[in-house]
Structure 1
Amino acid sequence: MPARRLPDITALEVVVAVGRLGSMGAAARDLGLSQQAVSSRVRGVEHELGVEIFVRSPAGVEPTENGRLVLEWANALVERAAEFVAGVDTLIGNRHATLVVAASMTVAEYLVPGWLTTLTSRTGARISVRPMNSAEVIETVRSGDADLGFVESPGETADLDAALVATDELYVVAAPGHRWSRTGTVSADELASTPLIQREPGSGTRITYEKALSELGLVAADPLIELRSVTAIRSSVLTSNGVTVLSRLSIADDIAAGRLVRINVDGLSMVRPLRAVWTSHITVRGPARELLDVALASAT
């Protein structure tokens, strides 16, 4: 008996997407194809295998008993194919590739430079780092415009895979002349009601601050000023009577030198994870894998 021919991998990718999303229409939108094209490819695979994979209904599709097995095998095959392509790309392009990294502001300014110093001694890949806020990092990685991302916000990372690379803490700080600096402490209620110099919406720092207050049943006042960079906020606080919340990574030297004063807030915890994120269902390879390994090693 002749060996059965393997269905086209791109057609199997369509079948896997339909099984994952539960409808032809959803798979079509996800893959950027017409619904007719998706339906045609699914029927083609079913005909080629001689197995009915899905039962159709107005509400969507459900895998048959045999279809569940086919989907399990097809998913494994698609993943192996993606690894094969990524591996070959690594072999032929490792020394000429540009690694695009999307990083939240704190990570981009205070951690990535050290990681890149280590990485450039290992690889000849060109590296492009794009600083942005955590929400923008997630969207950039999800859209495929970055190979690897780093975020500093708590909570889920949408549909991306993630790995913890460090733990950070936010400090409430003010210049020495601020009235809170005299006592070095303030209540959570007074902090919440005070307009701060803040990052923009979508920033991991702002998300962490607002989440910490919400856990105490408090809502943050509208910002006094919104600025998009850590450096701009730090400079603004140093030269004004304002208060802000910033990563300890960005202000440890200022606190040690007396340029800024850390304000203690009873009951307020602002510890947050710093995580690497990448497209789910793929194996990180090449320069992206090397950078991820450097970041993970720095956390140990």
Structure 2
Amino acid sequence: MLSPRVPDLTSLELLLAVDETGSFGQAALRHGVTQPAVSARLARMERQVGVRLLDRGPRGARVTREGALLVVWAREVLAAAGALDAGIASLRADHGTRLRVAASLTVAEYLLPQWLVRLAAEHPETAVSLEPVNSAEVLRRVRDARVDLGFVEGPDVPEGVDSTVVAHDELRVVVAPSHPWRRRRARPLTAVELARVRLVQREPHSGTRTALEGALRTALTAAGEDVDLAPPLLELASTSAVRSAALTGAGPAVLSALAVADDVRGGRLVALPVAGVDLRRALRAVWPRGVLPAGPARDLLGIAGRAGETG
């Protein structure tokens, strides 16, 4: 910790100005203050340091021997402070105009567009790069500090990152109107039935598939059922592809309620009830552990949180 004898930077700047101009008045003009203010501040600094720094006379002022030494040291301190100031300005300029985001496909397609519209309205100077990938890849990029903020799906709190819930979602079992299961809307599917059927699914490690498999295993264990999960009928790399396959009647699919809401309302897909399986899930923002989101990342996190509260 610095001792109380160390002067502040402004006082050091005024001392240098008096040394260079030989005048309190000229130092005052250079810094946009009054001459008495310069004189009072330097007198206070002399009391703080404990030695006389200036010889004052009718023709101006000049530094003492002790003052000359302090001037040399002050130049080094002020040069370092100037470099620090420039570095901070560079960081703020870079951080204030660029935001790197990775998001799971469901969040990237159905939630982030509206959040980014609000961010652009509030902070038009911010340029955003968005990488839509599955939840496992989002976490890798956040842990490697390749992005400033991530959004993932899934039932568990991710390891190795800090996170907060920004929204909630629920998975829906959907079929085309031509599928035989359409008549089951009055009789819910059970965990065993859902585990045994081959579904149109996302790829392994996607948030949607991980959430479904976790919910099914939990439900089967609670019911005392020892049933292996059936392999997928189709494995597709995007929510849109799974939805399209379900629309064409390829087979039952499990998708976010966000992704199928319009199709269910329009009768293009039929949502089936499920008993004994908790298909709710949290959508989380994630960021590198121990590094609080700042700048545009903090702004986007706030927008997502407010939208989740009102959505």
TM-score by length of 1: 0.69
The residue correspondences of 1:183-194 to structure 2 (distance < 5 A) are 183-184=184-185, 185-194=188-197
Q: Letter of the 2:136 partner, please give it.
A: A
Structure 2 counterpart of 1:290, from 277, 280, 299: 299
**Does structure 2 conserve the Cα–Cα contact (< 8 Å) formed by 1:142 and 1:279?**
yes
Q: Which string of whole-angstrom CA distances, capped at 9 and with x for unpartnered residues, describes residues 158-202 of structure 1?
A: 110101100100000000111111122322212111110000111
Q: Give the CA deviation at 1:85.
A: 11
Question: Quick one: structure 1 residues 91 and 225, their matched pair in 2 at CA, closer, same or farther if it must change by over 3 Å?
Answer: same
Runs of 5+ consecutive residues of structure 2 not aligned to the other structure: 4-84, 221-226
Aligned to 1:175: 176
Single out whichever of 85-94 and 160-169 deviates more from structure 2. Answer: 85-94
**Does structure 1 conserve the Cα–Cα contact (< 8 Å) formed by 2:164 and 2:284?**
yes
Please give the alpha-carbon distance, in whole angstroms, between the structure 2 residues aligned to 1:88 and 1:288.
18
Q: Letter of the 1:183 partner, please give it.
A: R
Question: Quick one: structure 1 residues 190 and 86, their matched pair in 2 at CA, closer, same or farther if it must change by over 3 Å?
Answer: farther
Single out whichever of 262-271 and 165-174 deviates more from structure 2. Answer: 262-271
TM-score by length of 2: 0.67
Secondary structure of 1:152 counterpart:
strand
RMSD: 2.0
- After superposing on structure 2, the runs of 4+ consecutive aligned residues of structure 1 that deviate more than 3 Å are 84-90
Q: Give the CA deviation at 1:88.
A: 5.2
Q: Letter of the 2:112 partner, please give it.
A: V
**Does structure 2 conserve the Cα–Cα contact (< 8 Å) formed by 1:99 and 1:147?**
yes
Aligned to 2:211: 208
Aligned to 1:91: 92
Are 1:257 and 2:266 counterparts?
yes
**Higher Rg:** 2
Secondary structure of 1:156 counterpart:
coil
Q: Letter of the 2:152 partner, please give it.
A: V
**Does structure 1 conserve the Cα–Cα contact (< 8 Å) formed by 2:200 and 2:250?**
no
Please give the alpha-carbon distance, in whole angstroms, between the structure 2 residues aligned to 1:88 and 1:195.
57
Q: Which string of whole-angstrom CA distances, capped at 9 and with x for unpartnered residues, describes residues 37-59 of structure 1?
A: xxxxxxxxxxxxxxxxxxxxxxx
Q: Which string of whole-angstrom CA distances, capped at 9 and with x for unpartnered residues, describes residues 207-227 of structure 1?
A: 110011101224421101111
Aligned to 1:114: 114
Q: Give the CA deviation at 1:266.
A: 1.2
**Does structure 2 conserve the Cα–Cα contact (< 8 Å) formed by 1:180 and 1:186?**
no
Runs of 5+ consecutive residues of structure 1 not aligned to the other structure: 4-83
Are 1:197 and 2:206 counterparts?
no
Please give the alpha-carbon distance, in whole angstroms, between the structure 2 residues aligned to 1:86 and 1:289.
21
**Does structure 1 conserve the Cα–Cα contact (< 8 Å) formed by 2:168 and 2:282?**
yes
Q: Letter of the 2:214 partner, please give it.
A: K
Secondary structure of 2:276 counterpart:
coil
Q: Give the CA deviation at 1:86.
A: 10
Are 1:139 and 2:148 counterparts?
no
Q: Letter of the 1:100 partner, please give it.
A: R
